[in-house]
């Protein structure tokens, strides 16, 4: 069975919320989420450091995302640091059934816009305890190694993730900014259910990794999904948007959802109006003409 057959990729009779319009993906064989998710990095201060300028609006964003059917939220201990996880708990705890909160560890934050890998097992373990406490959960549904730290043996980093699963503190493990070879190395130590790499309609560096994830039924979580920076691509995105009466952001998200059934976009925003616009993209269906235009533009 192909990933396309395994996962609901299109609107079904069960699609009762805007986020459900793009179908579902089942993480690790037991956690089914709507493919249109939410990234909670932007509900923090400038440089992803400290509290956001408008915390009340960020709380509204989180609550509205759940109302719209989003049940996959991505965060990290390093967003703020800690601010994003704390706001998620403040806005949404006690959590609605079926809400999957994915968090990450492995990056320290000396200051705004500064990210320092730390994959030492004792650090990951300490951060896991902190995330459990801040998110007020007994087990983290998806725990992602934010970066493989080149200063620490890989197997020690994968090994601590495996231990956290065995101890019941983590349900599933994911990696970030990795190629297929790294996933294969990690899989000798711990099952990997997701890969989170930078990817969007204008930035397809990880194209082969998307294909690998599709073959292996591993979720591909594209970060920076709205970063359509290339002018030529932007023109194509704009042309397609005009044809559909949609926004370029919506076309960028629809392209991702269309690209693979294992794709789980997590657009981030600190504004309710942007959230509503982004989630509505789950219902946008591209035509063959759109695919050719968007595909050729980035080639």
- The catalytic site residues sit at 79
Would you count residue 196 as binding ligand NAP (CB under 6 A)?
yes
Of 80, 160, 268, 294, the one binding ligand NAP by CB under 6 A: 268
- Identity of the residue, 39 or 261, whose beta carbon is nearer to ligand NAP in the bound complex: 39
Single residue of 39, 81, 174, 261 touching ligand NAP by CB under 6 A = 39
Nearest approach, Cβ of 197 to ligand NAP (angstroms)? 7
Question: In the set 34, 71, 103, 269, which binds ligand NAP (CB under 6 A)?
Answer: 269
Task: Considering only residues 130 through 169, tell me which ones interact with ligand NAP, judged by CB under 6 A.
Answer: 146
**In whole angstroms, what is the distance from residue 144 CA to residue 269 CA?**
21
User: Least distance (Å) from ligand NAP to the CB of residue 119?
Assistant: 14
User: Does residue 276 touch ligand NAP according to CB under 6 A?
Assistant: no
Buried b (16+ CB within 10 A) or exposed e, 162-172: bbbbeeebbbb
Q: Is 227 in the site for ligand NAP (CB under 6 A)?
A: yes
Q: Which is nearer to ligand NAP, 103 or 292 (CB)?
A: 103
Residue 277 touches ligand NAP, criterion: CB under 6 A: yes
Task: Report which residue's Cβ sits closest to ligand NAP.
Answer: 39
Work out whether 41 is an interface residue with ligand NAP (CB under 6 A): yes
**Shortest Å distance, C-beta 214 to ligand NAP:** 19
**Applying CB under 6 A, which part among 33-41, 118-126, 132-140, 166-174 lies near ligand NAP?**
33-41
Contacting ligand NAP (CB under 6 A), which of 80, 119, 174, 267?
Answer: 267
Size of the site for ligand NAP (CB under 6 A): 24
Regarding 108 and contact with ligand NAP (CB under 6 A), the answer is: no
Minimum distance, C-beta of residue 13 to ligand NAP, in the bound complex (Å): 28
Nearest approach, Cβ of residue 5 and ligand NAP (Å): 28
Q: What is the DSSP string of the chain?
A: --HHHHS--S--TT--SGGGGG-EEEETTTEEEES--EE-SSSS-GGGBSS-S-HHHHHHHHHHHHHTT--EEE--TTTBTTHHHHHHHHHHPSPPTT-EEEEEESEE-SSTT--EE---HHHHHHHHHHHHHHHT-SSEEEEEESS--TTS-HHHHHHHHHHHHHTTSEEEEEEES--HHHHHHHHTTS-EEEEEEE-BTTB-TTHHHHHHHHHHT-EEEEESTT----HHHHHHHHHHHHHHT--HHHHHHHHHHHH-TTB----B-S-HHHHHHHHHGGG----HHHHHHHHHHH-
**CA torsion angle for 126, 129, 130, 132 (degrees, to 10)?**
160
In angstroms, what is the minimal distance from the CB of 148 to ligand NAP? Answer: 12
Contact call for residue 118 and ligand NAP (CB under 6 A): no
The edge-to-edge listing of strands for the beta sheet with 100-105 is 38-39, 72-74, 100-105, 140-145, 170-176, 192-198, 219-223
Considering only 266, 283, 284, 298, the residue that binds ligand NAP (CB under 6 A) is: 266
Q: Which residues bind ligand NAP (CB under 6 A)?
A: 39-42, 74, 146, 176-177, 196, 223-227, 249, 266-271, 274, 277-278
């Amino acid at each position: 069975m192909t990933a396309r057959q395994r996962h609901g990729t299109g609107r079904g009779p069960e699609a009762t919320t805007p986020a459900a319009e793009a179908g579902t993906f089942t993480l690790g064989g037991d956690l089914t989420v709507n493919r249109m998710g939410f990234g909670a990095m932007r509900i923090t201060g400038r440089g992803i450091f400290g509290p956001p300028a408008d915390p009340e609006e960020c709380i509204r964003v989180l609550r509205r995302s759940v109302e719209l059917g989003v049940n996959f939220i991505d965060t990290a201990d390093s967003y703020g640091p800690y601010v994003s996880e704390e706001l998620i708990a403040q806005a949404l705890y006690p959590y609605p059934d079926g809400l999957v909160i994915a968090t990450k560890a492995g990056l320290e934050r000396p200051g705004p816009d500064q990210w320092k890998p730390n994959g030492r097992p004792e650090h990951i373990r300490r951060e896991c305890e902190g995330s459990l406490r801040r998110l007020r959960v007994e087990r983290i549904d998806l725990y992602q190694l934010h970066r493989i730290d080149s200063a620490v043996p890989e197997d020690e980093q994968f090994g601590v993730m495996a231990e956290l699963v065995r101890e019941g503190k983590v349900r599933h493990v994911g990696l970030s900014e990795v190629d297929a070879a790294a996933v294969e190395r990690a899989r000798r130590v711990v099952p990997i259910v997701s890969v989170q790499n930078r990817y969007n309609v204008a930035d397809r560096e990880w194209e082969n990794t998307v294909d690998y994830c599709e073959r292996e039924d591993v979720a591909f979580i594209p970060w920076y999904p709205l970063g359509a920076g290339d002018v030529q691509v932007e023109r194509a995105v704009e042309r397609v948007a005009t044809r559909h009466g949609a926004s370029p952001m919506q076309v960028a998200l629809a392209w991702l959802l269309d690209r693979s059934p294992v794709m789980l976009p997590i657009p981030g925003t600190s504004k309710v109006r942007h959230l509503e616009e982004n989630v509505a993209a789950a219902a946008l269906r591209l035509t063959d003409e759109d695919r050719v235009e968007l595909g050729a533009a980035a080639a």
